[in-house]
Each structure stands twice: as structure tokens, then as C-alpha cells.
Structure 1
Amino acid sequence: MDSTTAPRKRYAKTLERRSAVARAALDVVLEKGHRALTTAEVAARASMSETAMLYHFPTRDHILVAAMELADEDYRAILTAEFHVIDGGKADWPPPAMAHLTLDDQATTRLFLALSAEAVNPEHPAHAYLKAHHEQVIFEFTEGVKRRQAKGIADPKLDPDRVARQMMAAWSGLRMQWLIDPSLDLTAAVSQSFLALNGYPLMKFKQEMTEFMSQS
């Protein structure tokens, strides 16, 4: 037997077990909410002993982070890093699917915001996850702003990174408001905020003025 075969098999087995725990935990969150999650139920759903599971995930918080990371992966299978403005910027941006995923999945949104509150502690398992998550989302938002500037539907004078961080803050804050007051039209609020932060109203005004002057 190749000397590298055994380590590879052990590594694959570890990944399989970690994946099973993450999926079981996310299922519990989606069905019952993160507050109802117990290590015993997750272990049972993952078809392993609680002791074996805790070897890979030392605490309940580690398990919740694994569930949130898997939820992110699932979302990325639905959304892409592209944020399209359809019909000259008249349609919602970001795509309605971004807000609709939140509207359809309140349980995961509550988990994310709960972990966000805990992540301010550098020792908490969610700290590294939230830091990486924010960096990725801000990068994607930044690239989106740059693309819009290149298309003439975002103010070219804006700093894309700064706008991306403001967009991230708006997205997080509006989701929190929606959880507290579900009557808020989250899709419209997010789209309007993002378009405003990108300077779309100004660009639209300039475009209309240019068209008006060309017709005069």
C-alpha cells in the first residue's frame, strides 16, 4: 500500500464527517432555529456519537459556525458574484434573489446576526468566519461598483471600496430592521439604498440632461 494512501483516506473521512455535521446542524437551524440546536440531536442526525462529533467541533458554537458556513455555500450555488442592473439601472440592485433568500430563510438570517454579535470577541469561533465573510462580500461589492462605474451607471468619482463598505453596513442594518419589523419591504429598501450609494440618481439625471440637450 502506498504510504500516502492511509493519510488521504483519514483526511477524506474527516472531511466527510465534518460535512455531515454541518449539514445536520443547518437542517436543525432551518427546521427549529439556532436556539433549539443541541449537540445530541446534531450528532444523531449526522449518524455519529456525540463524543466523535465533539472531537471535530469542540463546542456548540463551533457547530453553529459550521452550519452558517454551509449556508453561505448553499447561497453561492444560487447567487453569483455578479450584481446586475437590468434595463439601464431601473431594476432592483442587488438582484431580488439576494433579498428573497433572506425573506425565505429567516432562521439562517437570525443565526448570522447572532454570530455577528458574538464575533466581536476574537476568541469566539465565529470571529474568523465573520472576518473572512465580510472581506469576501466587500470584495464582491467593490467589483460590482467598479463595473457600474465602467458602464456609466455609478458615479465615477466614488471610491468603490468605501461604497462597498457602506453597502455592507446598509445590508446588515436593513436585515436587522426587517427581523424586528417584518412589514419593512426589504427588497425595495436594499435596492434603493444600494442605488443611492452608487450615485445612480445623479448618473440618471446627467443622462437625462444629456439627452435633453441633444434634442434641443
Structure 2
Amino acid sequence: MTTARDLAILALDTAGDRPVDQGEVSLALAAAEILDLVGAGAVVLDGDHIVPNAQAPTGDRLLDEAAAALVRQQPYESVEDWLWRRGRGLSSAYVDDLERIGLTTRPRGRMLPLRSARTVLVDSPARRAAEERRAAGEPVLAALAATAGIGDEPATEAVGDTATTVLAVVGDAVMELEAVRQRKAIENAAFDNLWRGV
């Protein structure tokens, strides 16, 4: 299993207990993909730029899709640009993929509309492995989970230069996403107040 898939499983598992923001999860999944691709030897980081190596299948459909989406000409894409580009809708892609490979199910019943049934994880070796990684406090997974809002901030632990770079960039991206949300909320409130005053 990849870090990205484990993170998707943890996010889906947590979503049953409390709301999880899809934008933050998508950014964290895109960061996890970069770290998985580094681990697979498909990319290296040059500063904060993603430099692809020869493309080889990873055995994971979404990770292979991510590798195929890399910018392969100079100047290579920055981690930040990758997160925003690749992260768009990525949490939904992972939920769909987990369902496709049989790791989730939707409760069935006569009273449930087709699209309103919440996706539920099934008991599987993949789910247990993700939970074991979380319980073990694996530092990269713990940091990505915290960034996605599905875990507590882990104790600071050395994770290597590449992971440190990616985690710092995704942390900044999540803060930028929150700032944009707050700005939109303020603008919408001002607009509503303007219309009420007319």
C-alpha cells in the first residue's frame, strides 16, 4: 500500500466521526503521492522542484496516473504547483478507487437515495495496515494526516530533507486554502449585508 492510499483510508475512516474538508485532504493526498513517487524512484526533488526519472509502473493505478501527469520538461514543476494542480478533486478520485477495488461499500436500503448513502470502509487487510501505521506513529503519515485535519499534530521527528520540504509546502498550501475560505466568507457576509440594507 502507498502512503497516499493509507491516508485516503484514514480520511474516509475519520469522516464517519467528524467532518473532513475535501480540499485539505486532496492537498495532503497530492503531497503523499510525491513522497510515494520519490520512494519508488520515479522522481527526485531539486530544491522544491519535481524532477521525473524514467517512468516505470508502480503497481498502483492512481500513483501511475500521478507519474504520467508529471511535467517532464524544464523548468520542472514546483511542489506547490503540483499540489494545486494534482490535488484538484483528488480525494474523490481516491474514494472512487477504494470503492472500485472493493475496500468500501455503500449501505443499501429502500429509504436511502442512491447518492446520499455514505461510503463505508469494509474490514480489510488494507484498512488494518493503514490503522497500524497510524497507531505506530509513522512520522510522514502522521504529519500528512494532521495537515489534512484527520489527526493530531505529531511530535517533531526527523523525516529527511525531501519529506521535510514536501510537508512544509503542503502545510503552507493548506493555510492558503483556509485564508481563501475566510476571505470568501467575509465577502459573502458583506454582500448579504449590502442586500439586506437595500
Structure showing the higher helix proportion among its residues? 1
Asked which structure has the greater RCO (Cα within 8 Å, sep 6+), the reply is 2
What is the TM-score with the length of structure 1 in the denominator?
Answer: 0.27
Q: If you compute each CA radius of gyration, which structure gives the higher value, 1 or 2?
A: 1
Which of the pair is proportionally richer in strand?
2
- Give me the TM-score of the superposition, normalised by structure 2: 0.28
